[in-house]
Amino acid sequence: MGTPARSRPALLVLEDGRAFPGRAFGAEAEAVAEVVFNTSLTGYQEVITDPSYKGQIVVMTEPHIGNYGVCPADGESAGPQCAGLVVRELCRTPSSHRAEGDLDAYLRAASIPGIEGVDTRALTRHLRQVGALMGCLSTVDVEPSSLREKAAAAPKMAGCDLARHVTCGEPYDWAEGTEGVLAGRPVPSAPAGPNGASAPLVVVVDCGIKRSTLRQLVDLGCRVTVVPALSPAAAILDLSPDGVVVSNGPGDPAATGYAVETVRGLLGKVPVFGICLGHQILGLALGARTFKLKFGHRGGNQPVKDLRTGKVHITSHNHGFAVDPETLPPGVAEPWFVNLNDGTNEGLRADSLRARSVQFHPEAGPGPNDCVPLFTDFVRELKV
């Protein structure tokens, strides 16, 4: 018999040599990736299944993780997407009438390592002070020097195109709304069928789409077709969409030249709504530049201000890059939202081109629902 999981040692070592020992859970494996932190109090399953976390080791700042288990209907994709998970305390006996398993087994089945017993407060403070770092998390090797060498040698996130690794292989239709999730029904892998001939057709460019976004569009009466991130503008326009959503996703937006070119070919021809990575891609398509943030925004408590109305929203975030609003072409696009913590751009509008975008996640999943009405506004304009 092997060593019980609770007593197996594990180790996370950052590229600067800072080491964080703990106990292993999840898979007996090793992950080398960028280490980032998420401040969400709940929604750990939605976090780790968000494709935007591809290539990242996620540190949860909430100290108690796993207490309500996992439920397939809560996944934002088909399974865990992060490279590894770091928590202060793992709950191994979850309590929820919806739970169909525990977090330990969930990660083990996905071959993803986890580490518990880590001083996540100290780790988070270090990442805030130094900036996001590459790290090596191992549940099989606890030699600090070995793990540091691997972390230091790993390619950085800047310049890395990960969207092509999480996008779908072929177009598909999506017809599942939030009602099915609340009822606890299984989520189909590729549901099909229109919501009605008169319903607007929204084509979603999948750069790492979250199911919550698709469900919001279905709830608003849209027919939804999802296409790969590498789809050219001509192929999308051949579908005769009433609107296009460019989704969230992982990696450096400047490395997704194919998606930037696609959006550029859509501008002025069909309404476009960009979310997170989609926002950055729209900014690049309009001629702006993007840059990497020191440690990014990840969590469900980021305040943003609507520059048109003056209203402040609490929003859900998951991004490490941002658009430089000073590089937006004057007279074509303008800032829409601003982050009240650090002043970075959180949205833009190019009304003459019928294009808009937000850096945050209006669908939440997890997070507050302050900005769900942005979907309503977008769909309402499609019906005009």
pLDDT for 181-239, tens place per residue? 554 444 443 333 344 457 999 999 999 999 999 999 999 999 999 999 999 999 999 99
CATH number for the domain that contains residue 67: 3.50.30.20
> Of 15, 62, 346, 363, which one is the catalytic site residue?
363
Query: Angle between the 373-382 and 211-219 helix axes, to the nearest 10 degrees?
Result: 50
Is position 158 within any domain?
Answer: no
Instruction: Tell me, yes or no, if 222 is annotated catalytic.
Output: no
> Would you say 299 and 40 are in contact if contact means Cβ atoms under 8 Å apart?
yes
Torsion of CA 14, 20, 25, 29, to 10 degrees: 30
Is position 84 within any domain?
Answer: yes
> Are 213 and 309 within one domain?
yes
Q: What pTM value is reported for the model?
A: 0.93
Tens digits of per-residue pLDDT, 329-353? 999 999 999 999 999 999 999 999 9
> Are 110 and 183 within one domain?
no
C-alpha span between 196 and 192 (Å, rounded): 12
Identify which has the larger pLDDT, 118 or 157.
118
C-alpha span between 102 and 168 (Å, rounded): 27
> Of 207, 222, 276, 371, which one is the catalytic site residue?
276
> Are 213 and 337 within one domain?
yes
**CA 184 from centre of chain:** 23
For the cut 80, the answer to whether the pLDDT of residue 3 exceeds it is: no
Instruction: Tell me, yes or no, if 276 is annotated catalytic.
Output: yes
C-alpha span between 130 and 114 (Å, rounded): 23
**Mean pLDDT (whole number) for 79-91:** 98
**pLDDT score at 181:** 55
Domain that includes residue 338, residue range? 163-382
For the cut 80, the answer to whether the pLDDT of residue 79 exceeds it is: yes
Instruction: Tell me, yes or no, if 363 is annotated catalytic.
Output: yes
> Are 147 and 203 within one domain?
no
Structure tokens at 296: 């990014």
> Are 149 and 167 within one domain?
no
CB atoms closer than 10 angstroms to residue 201: 18
DSSP category for residue 156: P
Is position 216 within any domain?
Answer: yes
> Are 131 and 194 within one domain?
no
User: Which stretch of DSSP H or E encloses residue 164?
Assistant: helix 163-166
> Are 210 and 247 within one domain?
yes
CATH number for the domain that contains residue 228: 3.40.50.880
What is the pLDDT confidence band of residue 110, given thresholds at 50, 70 and 90?
Answer: very high
> Are 183 and 261 within one domain?
yes
- Cα angle 132, 323, 356; round to 5: 130
> Are 132 and 167 within one domain?
no
How many residues are recorded in the chain? 384
> Of 34, 297, 361, 371, which one is the catalytic site residue?
361
Nearest Cα to 166, choosing from 224, 217, 228, 107?
228
> Are 174 and 248 within one domain?
yes
Last residue of a domain, one of 133, 153, 173: 153
